[in-house]
Amino acid sequence: MVNKIRKAVFPAAGLGTRFLPATKSSPKEMLPLVDKPLIQYVVEESVASGVESILIITGRDKSAIENHFDISFELEQLLKERNKLDLFDQVRAISDIAQISYTRQKQALGLGHAIYQAKDFVGSEPFAALLADDIVDSEIPALQQMVEVYERYDAPVIATMQVDGEDISRFGVIDAEEVEPNVFKIRDMVEKPPFAEAPSNLAIIGRYIFTPDIFEAIEQTKPGSGGEIQITDAMRILLQKRPFYAVKLKGTRHDAGDKLGFLIATVELALKREDLGGEFREYLRSLDLG
């Protein structure tokens, strides 16, 4: 019987340099898409996919993340007194969403190093790892799509998307064989290959399901550029010992860690809101974009 994915890890210790100066004192993960911080979208996705316990890997100046998922007695009391019960329910639901714990990554030494901080939390279970600046807008939660593949193959699963043209050089890329529609068995992975050398147009994005032997692979991974331990390098080590699969996700992926991607995500998500979409659409139509 395949073990259920009950735990998820959220690396959130990065410095957010692509969003300076906004992230000088505020975590990138707390940047709001419309009225909800990035990390909340991804936490909600993981809970909707069956996750029960979450570990957020934080760093210095990241206390706002912990405060966001904690109970705010003063705010809740004020909302009750003013009879704003809908807002009270929204705020309380955030603190009740899941069992969330935290550990600190003292130095930002790469995604592989960040995930390694979860070794004790994970124990002997398979687990998910999600990046908060990858927002996937889909009918079926992105992680749920991956869980279904994991349960069929009992093997690690990574998320991919199709990237055409030279932009593929910005991503890790898989060399893989399609074994069923939108599901691939991975032969190899290449980190940011030149366009002419990319083995496919399938780019790795920030969703992973790992088995606990990923930690041993991380221990064997040598630091790369900038002394960072890359998770792609660790996955290649583990790929020599066990099969890996990839899912081409159904849905729209937004790179909300990029300024343009963040703006696009804000517009598209706002247009889908019942309380905002109509008026916002009319405003956009009124703009002189010439």
Asked if residue 226 has pLDDT above 80, the reply is: no
* CB-neighbour burial class of residue 278 (10 A; exposed 0-12, middle 13-18, buried 19+): exposed
Phi then psi for 54, rounded to 5 degrees?
Answer: -130, 135
Q: Which amino acid is at 246?
A: A
Q: Is pLDDT at 36 greater than 90 in this prediction?
A: yes
Q: How confident is the model at residue 60 (pLDDT cuts 50, 70, 90)?
A: confident
Q: How do residues 178-190 score in pLDDT, each as one tens digit? A: 999 999 999 999 8
Domain range 7-160+180-186+205-286, CATH class: alpha beta
Predicted pLDDT at 22: 86
**Mean model confidence pLDDT for the chain:** 92
User: Is 173 within 8 Å of 203 (Cβ atoms)?
Assistant: yes
> What's the mean pLDDT in 24-33?
90
pLDDT, one tens digit per residue, over 190-210 is: 888 888 889 999 999 999 999
> Stretch 254-264: mean pLDDT, rounded?
93
Strand-pair partners of 207: 130
pLDDT at 224: 77
SS3 227: helix
The per-residue pLDDT for 16 is 80
This prediction has a pTM of: 0.92
